[in-house]
Amino acid sequence: MKKALIHDWYYVNGGAEKVLKSINNIWPDFDHYALIDFLDEKDRKEIFLGDNNYVNTSFIQKLPSAKSNHRKFLELFPYAIEQFDLSEYDLVISSSASIAKGVLTNANQLHISYIHSPMRYAWDLYHPYLKESKLKGLKAWYAKRVLSKIRLWDVLSTNRVDYLIANSKYIAKRIKKVYRRDSKVIYPPVDISSFALEINKKDYYVTASRFVPYKKIDLIVEAFSKMSDKTLIVIGDGPELKKIQSKMSANIILTGHIELSEVISYFQKAKAFIFAAEEDFGIVPVEAQACGTPVLAYGKGGALETIEDGVSGTFFYEQSVDAIINGVAKMNSIKFEPERVRDNAEKFSKERFEKEFKETVEELYKDWKEKNG
């Protein structure tokens, strides 16, 4: 069986790439495709697990400034993804939070798409995106026109996929809303074994993320700047760095980008992990729980599926400074047991994902072959 694995783009090693690592671990003989590939060698070795790491890319790879800002070419994405000739493959698996599921396949091919999210900037984050971009006049009109066209293409292209797999119940509901399609839920893999349980905690809180608007790291920092008796460790970097720095006080420590071993150490010893994003699933809060560290999270999205209230963490229900402050007080009133926090994380292990995903794909392929000859 010839197999192709299609991803939106390779430029960071994030949550979606952890899914790809596990899929490559199940079947190491994929041919790989993506709009762009700007991975450094360290991340490439981490994701592809061997010499089979060449990625076929689209013409966007060669466009000026594609490496620094590929999203400026959004209008070209549908055309670019449709240029891949996949006719020689029996099985096509796409990993999609944007465009990958739109590849063209024929009646003799099975296409299964693992959906991390319907396009956020075209659907759920459409209005916040326009507001934060502060576009006016002709530029605002053009952005709205492009996103309108993208939404139409997004819905139509979903009909090209034979089976949809969602990364959470939350995303399955969004898939049903946007695409009017049912999907099977398979939670993403979390490398639980790399995040060892630590029972002895220190008196500090931690958060970690890429500094982009929807992660709401600025809210967490602002909240802790008003709680001078509580120490917060902030791990990460990104476009909102200056905004976050402007809200920091003496009790907040910014580490920047650090090695995984240091991240794990901070997670293990923290009193709690703070998470303010509305995330599709959220791998990092599960990694914190694997260390026996409870999570205070915004009570919406995938966090409601990965955190057991009162056992492995608790919630606040408004993305605001006051809600986070009250959430910290609420958390301090609960006695968490690190072993039980860790037990909750075990449900989302890498081994569980690889077994479930392999069995699902093989069953779908068998059924498809029987129906199509």
How far is C-alpha 15 from the chain's CA centre? Answer: 4
Q: What sign does the dihedral 366-368-370-373 (CA atoms) show?
A: negative
User: Cβ distance 230 to 253 under 8 Å?
Assistant: no
The Cα 111–Cα 106 span in angstroms is 9
Per-residue pLDDT, 339:
97
**Phi then psi for 272, rounded to 5 degrees?**
-165, 155
Question: Which residues partner with 37 through β-bridges?
Answer: 10
Q: What letter would DSSP give residue 232?
A: E
**Phi then psi for 210, rounded to 5 degrees?**
-75, 135
Give which of 355, 347, 298, 284 is closest to 326, Cα–Cα.
298
Question: Which residues partner with 33 through β-bridges?
Answer: 6, 56
Residue-range domains of the chain with CATH = 3-189+350-372 (3.40.50), 192-348 (3.40.50.2000)
Q: What letter would DSSP give residue 49?
A: -
Q: DSSP letters of 164-178?
A: EEESSHHHHHHHHHH
Tokens found for residue 211: 């500094």
Per-residue pLDDT, 12:
86
Per-residue pLDDT, 123:
67
The Cα 203–Cα 269 span in angstroms is 8
Q: Which helix (H) or strand (E) holds 113?
A: strand 110-115
Per-residue pLDDT, 314:
97
The Cα 116–Cα 95 span in angstroms is 7
User: Cβ distance 4 to 38 under 8 Å?
Assistant: no
The Cα 204–Cα 266 span in angstroms is 9
The Cα 85–Cα 242 span in angstroms is 43
Per-residue tens of pLDDT for the chain, all 373 residues: 899 999 999 998 888 999 999 999 999 999 999 999 999 998 999 899 888 999 999 999 999 999 988 888 989 999 999 999 999 999 999 999 999 999 999 999 999 999 999 987 776 766 677 677 777 788 777 778 888 898 899 999 999 999 999 999 999 999 999 999 999 999 999 999 999 999 999 999 999 998 988 899 999 999 999 999 999 999 999 889 999 999 999 999 999 989 999 999 999 999 999 999 998 888 999 999 999 999 999 999 999 999 999 999 999 999 999 999 999 999 999 999 999 999 999 999 999 999 999 999 999 999 999 988 6
The Cα 155–Cα 118 span in angstroms is 9
Give Cα separations from 29 to 26, 40, 49, 212, 371 (angstroms).
9, 21, 11, 34, 26
Per-residue pLDDT, 212:
86
